[in-house]
């Protein structure tokens, strides 16, 4: 028995390899997809919904730098490290990412609600080979062997994470290989790391931290019910700002308009449901607020380039070529 097991801690490698060790309550679900990018570098996609607050005691046995981005969060998620700044807890936010490194570090991860997260895990030697212009602050943090750097965001970073997550949906649902070529996935993973590094090196011309948090709340509120989008006035009122300010700030933080992001997430959810094969096209359309199946089909076709029925049919027989990848 390992020391981690003796202490009641779950090694990160074990959790990523087999989510059944989490022993989730009824109604909760969690799936993890791991793709090898090269020796010393992996892409990990975590998709989960915990009905009750779930606390996971962990030990990081990966010896990897984690470039981690929360592409969607509806609920709450925190992490606390026993040996970092006196056991400080960090609150995670949707649309933001962090860079962390702590080989052997122990702590707790706590989540309630839905979280989709994309992480590129890179050995320090591989990261050094990838980049020769790392900023001094990050280099010192990594050399300390215990860092957790938050607040990384940006429109392009967010879009790249969303595209990568979308390409892995089929694998996460257990229906075969990713919908994009392995070289595309590797290239986008490298781009994601590069965008993390760029977000550190930019001059701070971004919004205030308070406005960033407001937009994160707007983001979560917007996606809390994919069958009915709130009005801009409702979102602005809840955020304590005007509609024009909301529209500008949201686009600046997430790289697209409020309703463009809503529709993107709506269609991604529709595709996931169709790939599961449990519901008819009409059922999925109704669940997402469409009273007319033809209107839903038109919206789906505009986003993915194929009819929703084709995606549903592709699940049967384990078709090798999966339609319904974003254009």
Is 87 in contact with 184 (CB distance < 8 Å)? no
pLDDT tens for 231-240 read: 999 999 999 9
Residue identified by tokens 């909760």 is 28
At residue 316, the pLDDT reads: 58
Q: Kindly indicate the confidence band of residue 151, based on its pLDDT and cuts at 50, 70 and 90.
A: confident
- CB-based burial, 72-104: b 16+ in 10 Å, e otherwise: bbbbbbebbbeebeeeeebebbbbbbbbbbbee
At residue 176, the pLDDT reads: 57
At residue 315, the pLDDT reads: 60
Q: Which domains does the chain have, with CATH numbers?
A: 8-201 (2.60.120.10), 209-314 (1.10.10.60)
pLDDT tens for 287-315 read: 999 999 899 999 998 888 888 888 777 66
pLDDT tens for 159-176 read: 899 888 888 875 555 445
At residue 136, the pLDDT reads: 81
Mean of all residue pLDDT scores within the chain: 83
- pTM above the 0.85 mark? no
Q: Name 209's Cβ contacts closer than 8 Å, sequence gap at least 6.
A: 151
d(CA 236, CA 214): 10
- CA distances, 312 to each of 272, 273, 277, 284, 317 (Å): 10, 9, 6, 11, 11
At residue 1, the pLDDT reads: 31
pLDDT tens for 103-137 read: 988 889 999 888 999 999 999 999 999 988 788 88
Is residue 317 over pLDDT 50? Answer: no
The larger pLDDT score, comparing residue 64 to residue 72, is at 64
């Amino acid at each position: 028995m390992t020391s981690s097991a003796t202490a009641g801690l779950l090694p990160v490698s074990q959790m990523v390899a087999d989510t059944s060790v989490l022993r989730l309550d009824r109604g909760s679900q969690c799936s993890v997809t791991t793709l090898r990018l090269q020796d010393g570098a992996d892409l990990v996609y975590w998709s989960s919904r915990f009905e009750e607050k779930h606390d996971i005691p962990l030990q990081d046995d990966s010896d990897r730098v984690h470039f981690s981005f929360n592409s969607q969060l509806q609920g709450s998620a925190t992490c606390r490290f026993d040996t970092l700044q006196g056991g400080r807890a960090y609150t995670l936010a949707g649309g933001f990412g962090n860079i962390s490194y702590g080989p052997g570090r122990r702590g707790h991860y706590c989540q309630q609600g839905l979280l989709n997260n994309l992480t590129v895990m890179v050995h320090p030697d591989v990261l050094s080979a990838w980049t020769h212009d790392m900023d001094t602050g990050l280099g010192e943090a990594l050399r300390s062997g215990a860092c957790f750097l938050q607040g990384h965001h940006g429109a392009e970073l967010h879009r790249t994470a969303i595209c990568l997550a979308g390409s892995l949906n089929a694998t996460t649902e257990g229906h075969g290989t990713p919908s994009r070529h392995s070289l595309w996935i590797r290239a986008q993973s490298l781009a994601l790391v590069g965008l993390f590094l760029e977000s550190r090196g930019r001059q701070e011309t971004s919004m205030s931290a308070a406005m960033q948090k407001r937009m994160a709340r707007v983001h979560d509120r917007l996606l809390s019910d994919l069958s009915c989008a709130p009005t801009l006035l409702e979102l602005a009122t809840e955020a304590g700002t005007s509609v024009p300010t909301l529209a500008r700030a949201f686009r600046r933080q997430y790289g697209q308009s409020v309703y463009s992001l809503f529709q993107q997430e709506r269609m991604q959810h529709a595709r996931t449901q169709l790939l599961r094969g449990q519901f008819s096209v009409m059922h999925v359309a109704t669940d997402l607020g469409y009273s007319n199946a033809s209107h839903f089909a038109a919206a789906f076709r505009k986003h993915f380039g194929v009819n929703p029925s084709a995606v549903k049919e592709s699940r049967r027989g384990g078709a090798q070529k999966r339609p319904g990848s974003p254009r």
